[in-house]
């Protein structure tokens, strides 16, 4: 009987010493499981249909030209931004 009491005392001491860590781990685990369940349930509601066209057709009458032009503009803008940030000697911080 004294062995059981000693084991319980050790277990309760461990829980008492690490209570904050245990609560954080349980909270993160609960959040992760809930996020996974919500994601899976929303994915199950999606309609899996194959469209014969790029969806920009719904919004713009000239879908191919518009979407390609938009893609090239964004690519050029991001390339210029990366080039200027690396070669332009910009420093982040107070002026």
- Looking at the fold, whether 21 and 54 belong to one and the same domain comes out as no
pLDDT of residue 78: 93
Could you list the pLDDT tens digit for every one of the 95 residues in the chain?
Answer: 888 888 888 999 999 999 999 999 999 999 999 999 999 888 888 777 766 655 555 555 555 666 778 888 999 999 998 888 788 777 777 76
Q: 22 CB contacts (<8 Å, ≥6 apart)? A: 15
- Looking at the fold, whether 29 and 56 belong to one and the same domain comes out as no
pLDDT of residue 63: 55
pLDDT of residue 35: 94
The answer to whether 32 and 22 are in contact (CB under 8 A) is: no
Q: Per the structure, how many domains does the chain have?
A: 2
pTM for the full predicted model: 0.44
- Looking at the fold, whether 36 and 77 belong to one and the same domain comes out as no
- Looking at the fold, whether 25 and 56 belong to one and the same domain comes out as no
């Amino acid at each position: 009987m004294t062995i059981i009491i000693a084991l319980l005392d050790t277990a309760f001491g461990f829980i008492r010493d690490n209570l904050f860590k245990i609560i954080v781990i349980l909270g993160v685990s609960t959040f992760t499981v809930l996020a996974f369940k919500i994601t899976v349930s929303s994915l199950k509601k999606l309609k899996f249909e194959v469209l014969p066209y790029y969806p920009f057709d719904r919004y713009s009458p000239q879908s191919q030209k518009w979407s390609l032009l938009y893609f090239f503009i964004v690519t050029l803008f991001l390339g210029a931004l990366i080039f200027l940030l690396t070669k332009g000697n910009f420093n982040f911080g107070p002026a």
